[in-house]
Amino acid sequence: MNRPASFAVNGLLLAAAAISVAPLLWMLSASLMPAGQSNVFPPPWVPAAPTLANYRELFARLGVGRYLANSLVVATAGTGLSLLFNVSAGYAFAKLAFAGRERIFQWLLAALVIPAQVAMLPLFLLLRALGLVNSYGGVIVPALASVFGIFLVRQYARSIPDEILEAARLEGAGEARVFVGIVLPLLKPILVTLAIFTFLNIWNDFMWPLIVLTDSRLQTLPVALSLLSREHVQDNELMMAGSVVTVLPPLLLFLGLQRYYIQGLLLGSVKG
């Protein structure tokens, strides 16, 4: 019907999408070039003869396999543990009456204004005293429970009808049975959402792991990549390959479970 307008809208969208994706495609393309090929003017779009040499170098000589494993362990364990803490707390704030519930929840929301970095210096000293500096545990501990996670689960759990829970209790089910047997299955979509969020947050996190992991053998991918990229400023193709390895897992996770991710984003941005 309105052809020029339709052309403009779709043209602008195409341009914006191209700008969004182009740096990622360039990263992939340059990572397949032999050393030095990307640093010419004008830069080539695609490698003349694609090679996996950079990836081989990363894994064989720079030990990136180890960093990848570190990131996977930290993000997976952190996600599993934080689900345990956040989901049970979110359910309690939504459905279980206990003294001071509303006031504590207000405090938690108020604490959202405090930037996490304010806590980092004493947290480092605390974990040092606990012997957790330079350990997977040290990276995970601050991510174990989050106000955002509790809030997200609470928002979702509030829609569970009280009658279902009461009926189960009348039939003699204990609170643990009610939680595992009835609540958890109903919360499944939000569990997936929260799991993706937490995994991506821990995977992509930089400042805290940089502080707490001083031993290079335990470093996560982003920390290792930031240090490698300072040493290898000239080795552009190699660093692009490192970036691909770092970005690929979160990107694939998002592409696979996009629906849950976006739903969580919207649920989390609703004012309480």
Partner 1 sequence: MRPNLAGWCFAGPALVVIAVFFMLPVAAAFVLSLTDFDIYAIADPANLRVVWLHNYVQLLRTALFWKALGNTLYFVVVGVPLSIVVSLATAVLLDSELARFKGAFRTALFAPVVTTVVAVAVVWRNLFHARYGWINYALGAVGIAPVDWLGNPHWSMPAIILFAVWKNFGINMIIFVAALQAIPRELYEAARIEGASATQQFRLVTLPLLGPTLLMVGIVTMAGYFQLFAEPYVMTQGGPLQSTVSALYLMYEQGFKWWSLGVASAVAFALFALMLASTALLLRATRARLAAWGG
Which residues within the stretch 189-228 sit at the binding site for partner 1 (CB under 8 A)?
200, 203-204, 206-207, 210-211, 221-223, 225-226
Question: From CA 120, how far away is CA 224, in angstroms rounded?
Answer: 20
Q: Is 156 in the site for partner 1 (CB under 8 A)?
A: no
Work out which of 23, 50, 65, 131 binds partner 1, going by CB under 8 A: 23
Interacting span for partner 1 (CB under 8 A) from 46-54, 61-69, 109-117, 185-193: 109-117
Residue 236 is a binding residue for partner 1 (CB under 8 A) = yes
For partner 1, which stretch binds (CB under 8 A), given 49-57, 58-66, 186-194, 238-246? Answer: 238-246
Helical pair 221-231 and 236-256, crossing angle rounded to 10 deg: 160
Indicate whether 159 belongs to the interface with partner 1 (CB under 8 A): no
Of 35, 53, 73, 120, the one binding partner 1 (CB under 8 A) is: 120
- State which of residues 125, 164, 167, 180 lies at the interface with partner 1 (CB under 8 A): 125
H or E stretch at 226? helix 221-231
Q: 132: Cβ–Cβ under 8 A, 6 or more apart, which residues?
A: 138, 141, 212
Q: Which of residues 240-259 bind partner 1 (CB under 8 A)?
A: 240, 242-244, 246-247, 250-251, 253-255, 258
* Comparison of 52 and 114: residue with beta carbon closer to partner 1: 114
> Which residues in 206-229 are b (16+ Cβ under 10 Å) and which e?
eebbebbbeeeebbbbbbbbeebe
SS3 assignment for 68-132: HHHHHHHHHHHHHHHHHHHHHHHHHHHHCCCCCHHHHHHHHHHHCCCCCHHHHHHHHHHHHHCCC
When asked if residue 180 is in the footprint of partner 1 (CB under 8 A), the reply is no
Candidates 1-9, 58-66, 72-80, 186-194 — which segment interacts with partner 1 by CB under 8 A?
1-9
**Largest CA-CA distance found in the chain, in angstroms, rounded:** 76
Q: Which is nearer to partner 1, 41 or 170 (CB)?
A: 41
Q: CB-based contacts of 219: which residues, under 8 Å, 6+ apart?
A: 67, 70, 209, 213, 227
Pick out residues in 60-99 that bind partner 1 (CB under 8 A): 84-86, 88-89, 91-93, 96-99
Q: How many residues bind partner 1 (CB under 8 A)?
A: 97
Shortest distance, position 13 Cβ to partner 1, whole Å = 5
Determine if 168 is a binding residue for partner 1 (CB under 8 A): no
- Closest CA relative to residue 195, chosen from 109, 270, 260: 260
Candidate segments 54-62, 72-80, 100-108, 184-192, binder of partner 1 by CB under 8 A: 100-108
Q: By C-alpha distance, which of 86, 112, 117 is closest to 206?
A: 117
Q: What length does the chain have?
A: 272
CB of 28 to partner 1, least distance (A): 10
